[in-house]
């Protein structure tokens, strides 16, 4: 084999390998993105081999936050703590100080599991704070040496003195003196009364002590209310049979007002709030579950209780509803099965069978175990994997009613300050934002780039053509971060003051071009011949520059004279079209600098690749240059031009920095170009660095990355296919 | 967040920031001890801080100043976002995890799984969020309910109506018709989360709040937008914007001064945290301990002031030191300084 052949073969291999490498890299990236997003598909599941112990089930119980020990409370007020490690009783205390013969009538754990709400048979109502002390045995601190015991257990009383009446149902909410938050409690009695207590913190500087000023208001129903659930700021739901009443304190706590009443599908037997106390799950005697919340109405200022989705699956023999302490997820405990439901979208996720003789169950605070106490005194912690229940097709793409908002909407607002915040992770506004940004970037770019390319390739002559193309290509080299920076910091405020210029410029420049054409046609032929056809266009440059500068310079003055204020503010006031300073037009202009050169270069190549012989033949047959361009040059160049536009589209879809800096990242679903938008790419750039690794937001962001990847991949592949097909046809 | 872009922002913000500290005339608590390097020991080793990009300047300045006392210590600061802090702490790559938001429960779980105990948050400095308007805006003050109604679509604090024009906030003339143009920090940042949970009562931002990647970006946008209003750290105050006095009860309005923040009168003050891996059974690594002693010294807190945040008081420093098992002796006072009140604003955990 001679050397040339060898070199040939090596080169072919290297190129082939390089190509293969690129393909592999693309697949690897896709694989990685999908791998990170895939766990979102997982369903809640139960594991096996969790710790267990033997202890009397008592009334209710739970685990401390490390799931090292389990506590339970007995009707007589005894509180026990058992270690999961060896099943031994660590401690038994009596923090409530119940009187002789007094036992607990009602108990309920707060949703964050840090406190126990209770009512006794002597009518006393309070909240027991559950606190645990963690210590470490021996020399080192690790999982094995960790020990738990009860910390300071204090009781916050709503009613401390014994009284005759015992509540049927009770709910309460901790106050916070430092944050100036009131404490609330609500109880329903057998005579049909529902009582709301409000505890207002009063700080006494002299004694350095906080006292709580307690006031009560009540409402009388004909029949006793079976369930009560407290929401924020003293609002609560009370259920009487199948009637659900939304009640709230009147102004200045002067009384109770019925805010609205609705009918549930059956007699309500269980009602529990979800974390954040912005919505509640109600269950009927038939086991039908539904989600309820207080919704502000659009027409008047009222706030009414409304029932949202009924859950698809029902729970026969519904006993209790257990909300998670971390997210809007709950377990509905039935006679012989447990249903996992999701709050925001109202989806039932999974059903577990746990056998019979269950005394009570609870979710461990870290959601890692399902605690099951049975009447035969066995107690197990079953490993629980909830997966990512807050991310479902419905929360990602559905129009949902969120807590506290008047209408169902597509919303992206993924994080709040705490776990109590209801994440809103609809990808719809982001996808619309990407499309909107792309449209407004391409709208001015495509005609400019394609027409410019046609002119440059077929009309310009000689040196100017050779210099113009690299010059435009140079524009493509401007880093997009700089374009975004200029767009956001300079262009946006400048445009607000001279929005009119945006409308005037095209008109003025078009008029100027026509005028110059008219002038050119009037010129004597001799003159025209001396000025070459291709170079005549340079006469337009100074005209454009002068007129353009003039329009931009004069625009604010014209606006002030015509509208008495800036055009943008005038149009806002007159047509009620919202105007945002950092809007899609600004992005379109800035992105135009990135996209136009790209389309221009590729389209110019396409136009130039059409054989000159075709054009010559056409011109020789008497066609005008325009007819030649339109009918002879354009058809064979079309696939190339389409490919150029597609590549520009791909660039605009994936563009990040310009969008990030020149818009406000407002996740709206409006097409108005004078408002901003939030694109998938910019959203990834802002949120990924702050998203906790491996949690649902992190994975949702990866899912949006998969979408973005797929979108650009498809567009670019299509562009390539069109180009290759077109080349074959030529 | 993109490095280039941050540099660009920093460059743009630098002239605005210069002269800030002098303008506000704030002083660190005189009771903070001045830093005495441990005598006779020349520390060697590495200190890494990985975490929030908002606290990166502060960490870098501390590192540089600390190196003057202990040239043998190599300090590296990496600011790629708060979410990079917990993994770095867990893997032992970093000693400090500056975070602009509180650790999420999932992140704590991962830490506990490895070590058995919880990561320890250390209060290192104070940040007061201010509500900024354009310097020409004549508004005299806002109640927290009004702030909520301006920024939030949920209005959890209970204001009667949505506020969308300046007229609704009591401005007359040409201002009355002007639409309020909203600016805020990027979502998921600590400032964003804190403002949401305190000023908006955990309610939702309006979709029209324009998110700016940095505090300087918020201030800059408002100086260019007559109708703008936005929130960010008070350290970014410039001559072209104004911080609006805020009121909780609608009667007394408070400026975002250090005195009002520390006394709790100003409603938007919060602590900034650095998370560390503190084994409850072991003392801190000596280099780490020395660095933290520096942070809680007068010199360390002067750097806080320099980088646009508010210093902590001697009382808080003392508490943090005792939590960490570090010695802390209050400096002897010549006379009682005016602003040295014990902190009472609630820390966010």
**Distance (Å, whole) CA B235 – CA B221:** 16
**Distance (Å, whole) CA A24 – CA A96:** 66
Whether the predicted interface score ipTM is above 0.95: no
Which of B1, B3, B5, B199 best tests the A interface by mutation, with the highest count of A CBs <10 A?
Answer: B5
A666 touches chain B (CB under 8 A): yes
The predicted model scores a pTM of 0.88
> Which residues, 6 or more positions from A426, have their beta carbon under 8 angstroms from its beta carbon?
A395, A396, A397, A398, A399, A400, A410, A411, A412
A408 touches chain B (CB under 8 A): no
> Which residues, 6 or more positions from A413, have their beta carbon under 8 angstroms from its beta carbon?
A423, A424, A667, B187, B204, B205
The answer to whether A82 and A88 have CB atoms below 8 angstroms apart is yes
- Determine what percent of chain A is predicted with pLDDT higher than 90: 48
**Hey, are the CB atoms on A366 and B189 less than 8 Å from each other?**
no
Strands A209-220 and A227-230: unpaired
A106 touches chain B (CB under 8 A): no
Structure tokens at B101: 């938001």
User: Lowest-pLDDT range, A87-91, A200-204, A676-680?
Assistant: A200-204
Say how many residues make up chain A: 730
Structure tokens at B171: 């401005």
**Of B110, B231, B215, nearest to A695 (Cα)?**
B110
- Chain A CB contacts of B84 under 8 Å are 689
β-sheet with A227-230: strand ranges across: A227-230, A236-240, A243-249, A256-263
- Chain B CB contacts of A698 under 8 Å are 83
How much is the mean pLDDT over chain A? 89
Distance from CA of A494 to the nearest CA of B (A): 9
- Our CA dihedral for A107, A109, A111, A117, rounded to 10 degrees, sits at 60
**Hey, are the CB atoms on A417 and B101 less than 8 Å from each other?**
yes
The pLDDT tens digits for B257-282 are 877 887 778 888 888 899 999 988 88
Burial of A91-111, coded b for 16+ CB within 10 Å and e otherwise, reads eeeebbebeeebebbbbbbbb
The pLDDT tens digits for A342-384 are 988 888 999 999 888 889 999 998 888 999 999 999 999 999 9
Residue B249: closest CA among chain A residues belongs to which residue? Answer: A180
Burial of A233-262, coded b for 16+ CB within 10 Å and e otherwise, reads bbbbbbbbeebbbbbbbeeeeeebbebbeb
pLDDT of res. A726: 72
The answer to whether A661 and A487 have CB atoms below 8 angstroms apart is yes
B347: phi then psi, degrees, rounded to nearest 5: -75, 150
**Of A369, A374, A383, nearest to A55 (Cα)?**
A374
A547: phi then psi, degrees, rounded to nearest 5: -65, -40
B122 touches chain A (CB under 8 A): no
Q: Say if residue A641's pLDDT is above 70.
A: yes
C-alpha A399: how far from its chain's center?
Answer: 12
**Distance (Å, whole) CA B149 – CA B146:** 5
**Distance (Å, whole) CA B237 – CA B235:** 6
Neighbours of A428 (CB within 10 A): 17
**Hey, are the CB atoms on B204 and A424 less than 8 Å from each other?**
yes
Place of tokens 């409370």: A73
Residues 353-372 of A with CB under 8 A from B: 366, 368
A572 touches chain B (CB under 8 A): yes
Distance from CA of A560 to the nearest CA of B (A): 13
SS3 A574: helix
Distance from CA of B79 to the nearest CA of A (A): 10
Measure the CA angle with vertex A478, ends A477 and A481; round to 5°. 130
pLDDT of res. B342: 44
Q: Side-chain half-sphere of A608: how many Cα atoms within 13 Å?
A: 16
Q: What is the mean pLDDT of residues A177-188?
A: 87
A192: region left, alpha or beta (phi > 0 left; psi from -120 to 50 alpha): left
Q: Say if residue A680's pLDDT is above 90.
A: yes
SS3 A291: strand
**Distance (Å, whole) CA A322 – CA B33:** 51
Q: List strand residue ranges (DSSP E) for A79-233, in order.
A: 79-83, 89-93, 104-109, 115-120, 125-129, 132-136, 146-150, 155-159, 169-173, 183-188, 193-204, 209-220, 227-230
- Chain B CB contacts of A276 under 8 Å are 202
Distance from CA of B302 to the nearest CA of A (A): 28
- Chain B CB contacts of A496 under 8 Å are 225
The pLDDT tens digits for A464-486 are 778 888 888 888 888 988 999 89
Give A610's DSSP letter: S
Distance from CA of A83 to the nearest CA of B (A): 16
- Chain B CB contacts of A420 under 8 Å are 202
Q: Side-chain half-sphere of B154: how many Cα atoms within 13 Å?
A: 25
pLDDT of res. A357: 86
pLDDT of res. A210: 84
pLDDT of res. B187: 81
Structure tokens at A621: 């047959």
- Our CA dihedral for B20, B26, B29, B33, rounded to 10 degrees, sits at 40
B170 touches chain A (CB under 8 A): no
Distance from CA of B318 to the nearest CA of A (A): 21
B61 touches chain A (CB under 8 A): no
**Distance (Å, whole) CA B55 – CA B98:** 6
**Of B132, B135, B125, nearest to B306 (Cα)?**
B125
**Hey, are the CB atoms on A657 and B5 less than 8 Å from each other?**
yes
pLDDT of res. B76: 92
**Hey, are the CB atoms on A579 and B179 less than 8 Å from each other?**
yes
**Hey, are the CB atoms on B81 and A694 less than 8 Å from each other?**
no
> Which residues, 6 or more positions from B270, have their beta carbon under 8 angstroms from its beta carbon?
B126, B127, B128, B129, B194, B198, B345, B347, B348
Structure tokens at B145: 């309910």
Name the residue facing A143 among B83, B106, B116 (closest C-beta): B116
**Hey, are the CB atoms on A698 and B192 less than 8 Å from each other?**
no
Q: Say if residue B5's pLDDT is above 70.
A: no
A576 touches chain B (CB under 8 A): no
Q: What is the largest CA-CA distance in chain B?
A: 69
Name the residue facing A141 among B4, B117, B224 (closest C-beta): B117
**Distance (Å, whole) CA A656 – CA A79:** 57
Q: Say if residue B3's pLDDT is above 50.
A: no
User: With 0-12 CB in 10 A as exposed, 13-18 as middle and 19+ as buried, what is B188?
Assistant: buried
A685 touches chain B (CB under 8 A): yes
A676 touches chain B (CB under 8 A): yes
**Of A94, A108, A107, A88, nearest to A148 (Cα)?**
A88
pLDDT of res. B8: 47
**Distance (Å, whole) CA B102 – CA B197:** 12
Residue contacts between A and B (CB atoms, under 8 Å): 194
Which of A180, A421, A577, A692 best tests the B interface by mutation, with the highest count of B CBs <10 A?
Answer: A692
C-alpha B6: how far from its chain's center?
Answer: 18
Give the range with max mean pLDDT: A290-299, A307-316, A622-631. A622-631
User: Lowest-pLDDT range, A280-284, A536-540, A711-715, B44-48?
Assistant: A536-540
The answer to whether B197 and A416 have CB atoms below 8 angstroms apart is yes
Residue B53: closest CA among chain A residues belongs to which residue? Answer: A689
**Distance (Å, whole) CA B243 – CA B245:** 7
Residue B264: closest CA among chain A residues belongs to which residue? Answer: A178
**Hey, are the CB atoms on B281 and A140 less than 8 Å from each other?**
yes
Name the residue facing A686 among B107, B187, B228 (closest C-beta): B187
**Distance (Å, whole) CA A142 – CA B112:** 9
B278 touches chain A (CB under 8 A): no
Q: What is the mean pLDDT of residues B34-47?
A: 81
- Chain A CB contacts of B346 under 8 Å are 178-179
Measure the CA angle with vertex A281, ends A297 and A75; round to 5°. 135
Which of A690, A697, A698, A701 best tests the B interface by mutation, with the highest count of B CBs <10 A?
Answer: A690
pLDDT of res. B335: 55
**Of A265, A275, A262, nearest to A232 (Cα)?**
A275
Strands B241-243 and A337-342: unpaired
Q: What is the mean pLDDT of residues B66-95?
A: 89
Which of B82, B98, B104, B110 best tests the A interface by mutation, with the highest count of A CBs <10 A?
Answer: B104
The pLDDT tens digits for A53-86 are 898 888 999 999 888 999 999 999 999 999 988 8
Residue B221: closest CA among chain A residues belongs to which residue? Answer: A489
SS3 B249: coil
A157: phi then psi, degrees, rounded to nearest 5: -95, 135
Where residue B89 falls among pLDDT bands split at 50, 70, 90?
very high
Q: Say if residue B4's pLDDT is above 60.
A: no
């Amino acid at each position: 084999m001679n050397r040339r052949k060898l070199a040939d073969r090596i080169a072919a291999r290297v190129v082939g390998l390089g190509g293969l490498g690129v393909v592999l890299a693309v697949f690897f990236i896709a694989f990685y993105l999908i791998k990170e997003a895939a766990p979102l598909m997982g369903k809640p599941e139960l594991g096996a081999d969790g710790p267990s112990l033997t202890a009397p089930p008592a009334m209710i119980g739970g685990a401390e936050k490390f799931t090292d020990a389990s506590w339970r409370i007995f009707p007589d007020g005894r509180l026990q703590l058992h270690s999961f490690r060896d099943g031994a009783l660590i401690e038994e205390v009596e923090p409530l100080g119940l009187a002789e013969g007094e036992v607990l009538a009602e108990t309920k754990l707060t949703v964050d599991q840090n406190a126990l709400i209770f009512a006794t048979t002597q009518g006393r109502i309070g909240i027991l704070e559950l606190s645990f002390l963690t210590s470490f045995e021996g020399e080192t601190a690790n999982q094995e040496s960790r020990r738990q015991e009860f910390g300071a257990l204090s009781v916050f009383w709503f009613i401390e003195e014994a009284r005759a009446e015992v509540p049927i149902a009770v709910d309460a909410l901790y106050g916070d003196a430092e944050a100036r938050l009131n404490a609330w409690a609500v109880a329903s009695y057998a005579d049909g009364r529902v009582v709301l207590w409000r505890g207002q913190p009063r700080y006494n500087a002299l004694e350095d002590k906080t006292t709580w000023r307690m006031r009560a208001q009540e409402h009388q129903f004909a029949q006793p209310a079976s369930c009560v659930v407290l929401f924020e700021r003293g609002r609560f739901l009370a259920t009487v049979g199948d009637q659900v009443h939304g009640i709230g304190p009147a102004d200045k706590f002067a009384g109770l007002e019925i805010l609205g009443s609705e009918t549930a599908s059956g007699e309500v037997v269980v009602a529990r709030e979800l974390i954040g106390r912005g919505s509640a799950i109600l269950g009927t005697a038939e086991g039908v579950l539904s989600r309820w919340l207080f919704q502000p109405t659009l027409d008047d200022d009222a706030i009414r209780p409304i029932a949202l989705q009924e859950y698809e699956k029902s729970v026969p023999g519904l006993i209790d509803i257990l909300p998670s302490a971390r997210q809007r997820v709950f377990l509905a405990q039935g006679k012989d099965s447990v249903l996992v439901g999701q709050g925001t979208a109202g989806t039932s996720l999974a059903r577990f069978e746990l056998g019979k003789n269950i005394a009570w169950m609870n979710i461990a605070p870290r959601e890692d175990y399902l605690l099951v106490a049975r009447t035969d005194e066995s107690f197990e912690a079953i490993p629980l994997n909830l997966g990512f229940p807050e991310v479902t097709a419905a929360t990602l793409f559905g129009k949902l009613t969120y807590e506290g908002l008047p209408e169902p909407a597509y919303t992206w607002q993924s994080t709040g300050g705490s776990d109590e915040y209801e994440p809103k992770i609809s990808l719809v506004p982001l996808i619309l934002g990407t499309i909107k940004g792309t449209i407004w970037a391409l709208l001015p770019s495509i005609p400019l780039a394609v027409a410019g390319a046609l002119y440059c390739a077929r009309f310009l002559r000689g040196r100017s053509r050779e210099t113009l193309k690299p010059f435009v290509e140079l524009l493509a080299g401007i880093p997009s971060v700089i374009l975004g920076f200029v767009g956001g910091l300079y262009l946006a405020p400048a445009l607000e003051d001279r929005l009119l210029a945006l409308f005037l410029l095209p008109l003025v420049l078009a008029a100027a071009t026509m005028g110059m054409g008219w002038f050119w046609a009037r010129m004597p032929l001799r003159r025209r011949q001396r000025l070459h056809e291709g170079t005549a266009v340079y006469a337009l440059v100074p005209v454009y520059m002068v007129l353009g500068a003039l329009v931009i310079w004069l625009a604010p003055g014209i606006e002030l004279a015509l509208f008495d204020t800036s055009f943008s503010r005038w149009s806002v006031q007159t047509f009620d079209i919202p105007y945002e300073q950092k809007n899609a037009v600004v992005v379109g202009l800035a992105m135009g600098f990135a996209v136009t050169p790209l389309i221009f270069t590729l389209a110019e190549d396409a136009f130039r690749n059409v054989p000159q012989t075709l054009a010559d033949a056409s011109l020789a047959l008497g066609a005008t240059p325009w007819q030649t361009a339109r009918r002879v040059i354009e058809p064979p160049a079309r696939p190339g031009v389409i490919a150029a536009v597609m590549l520009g589209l791909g660039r605009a879809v994936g563009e990040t920095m310009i969008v990030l800096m020149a818009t406000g990242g407002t996740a709206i679903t409006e097409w108005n170009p004078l408002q901003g938008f939030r694109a998938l790419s910019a959203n990834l750039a802002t949120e990924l660095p702050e998203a906790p690794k491996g949690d649902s937001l992190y994975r949702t962001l990866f899912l949006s990355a998969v979408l973005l990847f797929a979108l650009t991949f498809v567009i670019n592949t299509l562009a390539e296919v069109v180009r290759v097909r077109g080349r074959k046809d030529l | 967040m993109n490095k280039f872009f941050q540099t660009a922002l920093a460059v743009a913000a630098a002239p605005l920031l210069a002269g800030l500290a002098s303008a506000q005339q704030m002083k660190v608590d005189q009771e903070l001890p001045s830093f005495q390097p441990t005598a006779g020991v020349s520390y060697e080793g590495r200190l890494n801080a990985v975490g929030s990009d908002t606290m990166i300047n502060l960490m870098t300045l501390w590192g540089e100043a600390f190196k003057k006392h202990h040239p043998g210590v190599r300090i590296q600061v990496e600011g790629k976002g708060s979410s990079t802090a917990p993994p770095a702490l867990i893997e032992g790559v970093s000693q400090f995890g500056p975070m602009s938001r509180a650790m999420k429960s999932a992140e704590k779980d991962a830490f506990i799984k490895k070590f058995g105990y919880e990561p320890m948050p250390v209060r290192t400095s104070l940040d007061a969020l201010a509500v900024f308007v354009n310097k020409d805006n004549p508004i005299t003050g806002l109640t927290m309910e009004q702030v909520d109604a301006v920024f939030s679509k949920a209005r959890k604090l209970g204001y009667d109506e949505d506020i969308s024009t300046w007229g609704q906030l009591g401005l007359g003339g040409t201002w009355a018709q002007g639409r309020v143009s909203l600016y805020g920090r990027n979502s998921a940042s600590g400032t964003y989360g804190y403002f949401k949970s305190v000023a908006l009562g955990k309610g939702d931002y309006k979709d029209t709040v324009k998110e700016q990647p940095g505090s300087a970006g918020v201030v800059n946008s408002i100086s260019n937008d007559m109708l703008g209003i936005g929130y960010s750290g008070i350290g970014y105050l410039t001559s072209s914007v104004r911080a609006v006095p805020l009121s909780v009860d609608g009667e007394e309005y408070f400026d975002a001064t250090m005195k009002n923040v520390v006394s709790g009168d100003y409603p938007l003050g919060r602590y900034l945290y650095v998370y560390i891996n503190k084994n409850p059974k072991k003392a801190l690594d000596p280099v780490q301990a020395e660095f933290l002693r520096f942070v809680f010294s007068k010199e360390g807190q002067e750097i806080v002031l320099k980088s646009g945040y508010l210093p902590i008081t001697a009382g808080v420093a003392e508490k943090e030191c005792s939590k960490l098992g570090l010695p802390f002796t209050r400096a002897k006072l010549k006379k009682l300084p005016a602003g040295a009140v014990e902190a009472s604003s609630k820390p966010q955990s």
